[in-house]
Amino acid sequence: MSTDKKLTKTLKKGDLFIIVTVIAITLVWFLAPFSGREDNLKLVIYLDGEAVETAQLSTLTEGKSFYVGGCEIYADSEGVKFVSSVCSDSLCVKRGTMTRAGDTMACVPERVVVSLKGGSSTHIETY
Amino acid sequence: MKKGKLSAKTKKLIIKIIAVVLVALIGTAAALVVKDRKTDFNSAQKYSVAMNTVITQKIYADVPGVHIEPVRAIINSLDGYISCKDSESVLSRLNSEGTLNDILIAEALKTCLEVSEKSGGAFDVSMGKLSESWAIGTENARVPSDEEISELLSQCGYEKITLDGSKITVAEGVSVDLGAVGKGIACDYIMTYLKSKTDIKGAVVSVGGSILTYGQHNKAGDEWNVGIRHPRNENEYLGIIHMTEGFVSTSGDYERYFEQDGVRYHHILDGNTGRPSDSGLISVTVVCDSGILSDALSTACLVLGAEKAEALLNEYGAAGVFVDKDMNITVVGDIDFEY
């Protein structure tokens, strides 16, 4: 095989390698921030506007109760909910389980806010 | 072929390699630019409780944290100003003394009275005593008797509130309640603050579901995505509004209610009947360029029903999303609603 032919063969493989590698790296790097995986949900509990508890939902496989203000908040890998509150209306308990990134719920009388953070398709919610 | 000199074919291949590398570099550079434009600006987010509801603020700026407290202060000070539950508030002074000289409340009432008139009294801020009697959203919620409702209705009526510049007068017995528009008023004042700060690139603030969107969250100027909560499933979105700068407000029969004998009594009262509205609509979302107006219009529309509500929104050049009891969705006006 002549030198030119060898070079041609090597360069064709090289072309392909460069193209595929560059495209793959660019795509992965570019799309990563937009993937928004729901299994990366982070629970944040606020009291009077200050974050007092945080947890990665995926790590709470056996479930965990948090006691903040006069509220008991239960979280597991599936979601988070108010279990009880000393407030008079218990609207927070009636709210049920929250599972989506970007969701918030609160016990207004106790000034406790629970938020799920992570990849979300919305910036905010009207209700 | 002479030694040390490349053939024409080899030269062609080298040019090809250079071309591929150049294309890859240009592609990467383009992706970098796009990614930079699509990446959100530096931001700070805060959840807190005020005005008897949840406040969510996300501010995009070089040093966004410095704006969180001022926004919260605006909401807290307004709460002390226009709350009818706080006996020390300025609004309570109007209700107890029957007259008040105050530009903030007068301006708010001017907008409210206009919506009251255009909605034929469906929206009415003079129903303070009636709302107090129903007490929906409190542990004392109850269904007042027909006689009581009739008696209390006689003490209501937006036409019993008169404005003369900043001077407000209310007829004896009338109690003004700005609860339906208080969150929207807060959004208006927050918007004024945000616009006055040149370092703020964008912000999205929710005061109990009344929302403002301001500026941009990235260089590309991508739209804000505002989710509308499903009226019968809190864990689902009804859809998403894609919008630029503006105000969004939703009124629904699911926010505050109680059930008695299988009947749901929600907190939005019809100014003409003194009872929870029963227009066929269960959720109304309004998008417009004023916080107080989006609040007032969403309430008015829920009471009016789809047909009259659409006419009212058209009159104000506002847009909206209506949901009826059968979960039919109607989109009104110029709005990008995905569902």
pLDDT band at A29 (very low <50, low <70, confident <90, very high): low
CB contact, 8 Å: A39 with chain B?
Answer: no
How crowded is residue B196: how many other Cβ atoms within 10 Å of its Cβ? Answer: 8
- Contact (Cβ atoms closer than 8 angstroms) between residue B309 and residue B267: no
Task: Please give the single-letter amino acid code of residue A91.
Answer: L
Give the mean model confidence (pLDDT) for residues B21-37.
Answer: 81
Q: Which of B17, B27, B229 sits opposite A126 (nearest CB)?
A: B229
Shortest distance between the Cα of A63 and any Cα of chain B, in A, equals 20
Q: How far is CA A35 from the centre of its chain?
A: 10
**Pairwise CB contact (< 8 Å): B58 & A102:** no
Residue A8 in this model has a pLDDT that exceeds 80: no
DSSP-derived letter for residue B305 is -
Q: Chain B within 8 Å of A49 (Cβ-Cβ)?
A: yes
The size of the A-B interface in CB pairs under 8 A is 131
A18 in contact with B, Cβ within 8 Å: yes
Is residue B241 in some structural domain? yes
User: Between A1 and A101, where is the model more confident?
Assistant: A101
Query: Nearest C-alpha of chain B: how many angstroms from A77?
Result: 16
Q: Do A18 and B204 touch (CB under 8 A)?
A: no
- For residue B8, is it within any domain? no
Q: Exposed e or buried b for every residue in A65-103, given b needs 16+ CB within 10 A?
A: ebebbebbbbbeeebbbbebbebebebbbebebbbbbbb
- Asked if the structure places residue B88 within a domain, the reply is yes
pLDDT band at residue B14 using 50, 70 and 90 as cut-offs: confident
Is the per-residue pLDDT at A36 higher than 60? no
Please report whether residue B6 resides in a domain. no
CB distance A126–B17 less than 8 Å? no
In a domain, residue B239? The reply is yes
Chain B residues inside the 8 Å CB shell of A100 = 235
Distance between CA atoms of A29 and A26, rounded to whole angstroms?
5
pLDDT at B310 over 70: yes
How far A2 CA lies from chain B's nearest CA (Å)?
11
Q: Is residue B154 part of a domain?
A: yes
CATH number of the domain within which B162 lies: 3.10.520.10
Contacts of A95 in chain B (CB under 8 A): 234
Does any domain span residue B12? no
**Percent of residues, chain B, with pLDDT higher than 90:** 77
Distance (Å) from the C-alpha of residue B150 to the closest C-alpha of chain A?
A: 28
Which tokens sit at B56? 């969510």
**Cβ atoms of B180 and B303 closer than 8 Å:** no
Kindly report the three-state secondary structure assignment for every residue of B54-89. EEEEEEEECCHHHHHHHHHHHHHHHHHHHCCCCCCC
What is the nearest CA distance from A104 to chain B, expressed in angstroms?
Answer: 9
Give the pLDDT band (50/70/90) at residue B225.
very high
Q: Do B9 and A97 touch (CB under 8 A)?
A: no
Which range among A81-95, B19-33, B267-281, B302-316 shows the weakest confidence by mean pLDDT? B19-33
Question: Hey, are the CB atoms on A26 and B225 less than 8 Å from each other?
Answer: no
Q: Which residues are CB-neighbours of B218 under 8 A, at least 6 positions away?
A: B37, B38, B39, B40, B41
Beta carbons of B42 and B58 less than 8 angstroms apart: no
Complete DSSP assignment for A50-73: EEEEEEEGGG-TT-EEEEETTEEE
Phi, psi at B90, each rounded to 5°: -65, -40
Distance between CA A104 and CA A51 in Å, rounded? Answer: 13
Cross-chain Cβ contact B20/A19 below 8 Å: yes
Record: contact B138-A103, CB cut-off 8 A: no
Answer whether A85 touches B (CB < 8 Å): no
Any domain includes B215: yes
Number of domains chain B contains: 1
Which chain A positions have a beta carbon within 8 Å of B206's beta carbon?
124-126
Residues of A in contact with B72 (CB under 8 A): 49
Q: How many CA atoms lie less than 13 Å away from B117 in the CB half-sphere?
A: 10
Q: What is the pLDDT of residues B294-305, one digit of tens each?
A: 999 999 999 999
A118 sits in the region (left: phi over 0; alpha: psi -120 to 50; else beta) called left
Which ipTM value was assigned to this complex? 0.72
Smallest Cα distance from A62 to chain B, Å: 22
Range of the domain at B100: 43-338
How close are the terminal C-alpha atoms of chain A, in Å?
A: 74
pLDDT digits (tens, 9 = 90+) for B146-198: 999 999 999 999 999 999 999 999 999 999 999 999 999 999 999 999 999 99
Interface contact A4, partner B, CB < 8 A: yes
**Any B CB within 8 A of A64 CB:** no
